[in-house]
Structure 1
Amino acid sequence: MVSTRTSALESLKPDALDPEGATSAAANAAERDALGDRLIQGSMRRSFNSNIDIDWDAPQDPDLFYLPPEMMSLYGTPLWESMTHRQRVELSRQEAANTLTRAVWFENTLNQGLLRAMLHQDPTSRNVHYALTEIGDETRHMVMFGRAVSAIGALPYRLSRREALAVQAMPLAYRGLMLWVAALCGEEVIDESQKQNARHPDVQPIMLQVFRIHVTEEARHIRYAREGVRRRIARAPWWERQFVATANGGAAFILRRLYYDKEVYRRCGLPVREAMRQARNNEQVRARRRESFEGLHGFLTENGLLNPISRLMWRSHGFL
């Protein structure tokens, strides 16, 4: 009886059931750990601490912008042409504060998603160790963004009650493939914009430092998320792929709020309704959005993660 029971138990081992599948799983785990190890080594070579790597007390030139003029929502509009230089600088300050504040809550939701995923993973693996390293990066980014809002003399932009409820629910959907695609939607589009911002000669040095740190560290996060998509999609069921291919279009609405917000114009003393109308119809803003989405659009298309519904949503918010 013992011999029979032992034989039956042996037959239930993964190697006996599917030796090729077990070998493949082991190879995938080794590949994940190898990538995690490389990213950890990169983090050790080039990571930043904004508390010491940014001169928060450096004087700010009242004539320099906080975002490049051409990256601002009203650039080139009739309302922009009617504004003084100082009004334009103030608009850049408020739009920068809006972007930084919203980046804080996105980093918050991403960290929650990564932590939830780790509950089901091997805490000794280098893949998990890099995920923890990324959470450390993102936590420091949250501190950096918060300090930047304060340093430029702006107030943070609060979420409305409806937005707060939506943001609190987002991490619950960050599972499997959705976690990695959500990370890319939040990181890659913003990263493309900041690469341009980080080299602009008319932007405050303190903001250039923030952009450069973020771009450098986000490069590793984007690579990690892209590899996460490739791994997951190879074994994701059809319904999961279809859900993610549809749901990612919701990111277009969230990202659009980085470009213009009623409260920004209210704080600048601009006519809110007219400013919103001109910003929404500003073709230069739409062109920048399309440009920032190009890389992610190509990746999602390549992996079959865009469908007619998500394409419609990205297009209706100016990214296609």
Structure 2
Amino acid sequence: MARYLLSRALQALAVVFGVIALTFVIARLIPGDPAVAYAGPKATPAEIQAARVRFGLDQPAWRQFLDYVGGILRGDWGTSLHTKSPVLDDLLRVVPTTLVLVVCALVVAVGVGVPLGVFAARSSGRLGDLLAKIFSILAVSMPVFWMAILLQLVFFSHLGWLPAAGQYNQSLDSTSPLFTVVHIPVVDALLTGNWPVFLSAAQHMVLPVITIAAFPLGACAMVTRAAILDNLGEEHIRMVRALGFRERSVLGRFAMRPSLNPILALVALVFAYSLTNSFIVESVFDWPGLGSYAIDSIQSLDIPSILGVTLFVALVYVFLNLAVDIAQALIDPRVRS
């Protein structure tokens, strides 16, 4: 087990280093001068040169790369050109707001998708299976921006049930002022007992959460169905049935547990996918999180911020895959052999 964990950890470090090197090279190939972007369009040549010296842009490429890697290891991810703040501080400010959406979406996706996949497997070849597959395919294939706009048209414009954008109703600031604790309105309202703002924030989360949850929900349902059907065809399942176990016990005890490995791997992948998918969702629903920060960074050619967002997403991918490898090794000893 120790050798397996060491091997996976070394692979994860190699991937992280590769991402750092690749993002550094791509950043240097992007047209534009970060020093000019930082100093501003009306800056003098002396001010531009001072900015270039401050960010080490006057150094050779190899020296800039070593400084870049060293800064990452020290927690210095550079300074944002459009916020003038350390990139890591910006990420710590905007990431929790996005994680609230992504975590809630994953809870919905797993809570609905896995039971839907189990239901489809149990009714394989019948109407229930067909309807579950159609629903899963639609959830996976529908473009995120189209689903977001469609939900706004139905639930805000036509039915008027849910708000179209924002984090909560700003008019409540005059009647129920919100005291910030973690700078996430729905969490701050819950912690301080501000129920009007909490209900408003919860309503504002419904549409973006559904939009983000659609793809992982359909993927979870299809993977769960396929994994369970594969396991139901195994020899030990036929033996268990011959011994007289009930079908519910066969499905839950003997077919579901081996199916957890692909489900765990999928959840890790769709979590990171949902994190990047939130960029479009946040833009449509005016949600001030990581996606909005990334879009602002791209529009202003903020190279340090773009690198920071890319590195953060890559670290999430690597960490989740490493966690899944460990979980799979604990569930199934054959994985670590």
TM over 0.5: no
TM-score when scaled to structure 2?
0.31
What TM-score, normalized by structure 1, do the two folds share?
0.32
Larger Cα-atom Rg: 2
